[in-house]
Amino acid sequence: MSSAKPKTDTYISVRCVIPADLEEELPELLASWSVLGTEVHGGSDGGVGVTVYLSGTDLSDAEAVRQMLVEIGAQNAEQKFFEADDWLAGYREQSQPFTVGSRWWIDPHPDRPTTAPSGRRRLVIEPRMAFGTGSHESTQAILMALEDIEVNGRRVLDVGTGSGILALAVECMGANSVVGLDIDETAVWVAFETARQQEWPSRVNYVLGPVECIGGAEFDIVMCNMITSSFLPLVGEFRSRLAPAGIAVFSGLLASEVESVSGALMEAGFAIPSYRVLGDWASLIAVAATVP
């Protein structure tokens, strides 16, 4: 387990306008670099405004990302150095609480708490430099998928935990033990900070490292909200971590990828009882298939 803090508070943004028909492909196009986050703005004349954020130490990555965007037709591509608070403070100030599914009330303001509507549970998720504020459709899809699963008393692994939102959600739902795993040092630090802001004393165990670093531990539920190219190479490892009759919940895939991803999961020993499409994104519920 790690309590490490980010090494720098300086970041780089790469801002441009890309052809609108490439918006869905953007996560895959950026998969080769350690991107901290991506913001999509409104556009016109067939273009969509995009800002990609990277660590201030990743100078070569930022230039490579800029060049890649130009090659796919981006216009007005430019880089800018800035301090984290230059954009996070403004974003936090404008953020408003919102509902997800039938269970969740996502509150971005730990210092100005709002009361969750009746029947909902408040999750405090302050926008920080890690994925998972609850606003993205892939995060919402997996939160909604969890409502269809019996979580109480289960052992849960959250791979690519980011802000820790999914780990905190299953803890709210009564999971017996939760491990949040990420290979990004900043994400693990953000997850620790997010856990401290909740209305209950969270006991989620956040771990810095790959799946192999947790040894031979077995889980009843494995969750993963990562883009397809990142999680598909790991599905065999996820399958081996599941207890008999265990469940895996995947999100971060495009709706257009449901068929191909389902096929890959079945080859790895899963059955796919259901999936959910939310906007351009999808989540899959997979169960450990019985070996004949």
From first to last of its 292 residues, the chain has per-residue pLDDT tens of 333 333 446 778 898 999 888 887 887 888 888 777 777 776 667 788 888 888 777 788 889 999 999 999 998 899 888 765 555 555 556 678 889 999 999 998 888 889 999 999 999 988 775 567 788 888 999 999 999 999 999 999 999 999 999 999 999 999 999 999 999 888 888 899 999 999 999 999 999 999 998 888 899 999 999 989 889 999 999 999 999 889 999 999 999 999 999 999 999 999 999 999 998 889 999 998 765 4
Asked whether residue 194 falls in the same domain as residue 121, the answer is yes
Asked whether residue 241 falls in the same domain as residue 282, the answer is yes
User: Does 97 fall in a domain?
Assistant: no
User: Does 111 fall in a domain?
Assistant: yes
Asked whether residue 136 falls in the same domain as residue 185, the answer is yes
Residue range(s) defining the domain that contains residue 170: 107-288
Asked whether residue 155 falls in the same domain as residue 238, the answer is yes
Of 232, 279, 233, nearest to 260 by C-alpha is 232
Asked whether residue 222 falls in the same domain as residue 275, the answer is yes
Query: Based on the structure, what is the number of domains in the chain?
Result: 2
Asked whether residue 128 falls in the same domain as residue 207, the answer is yes
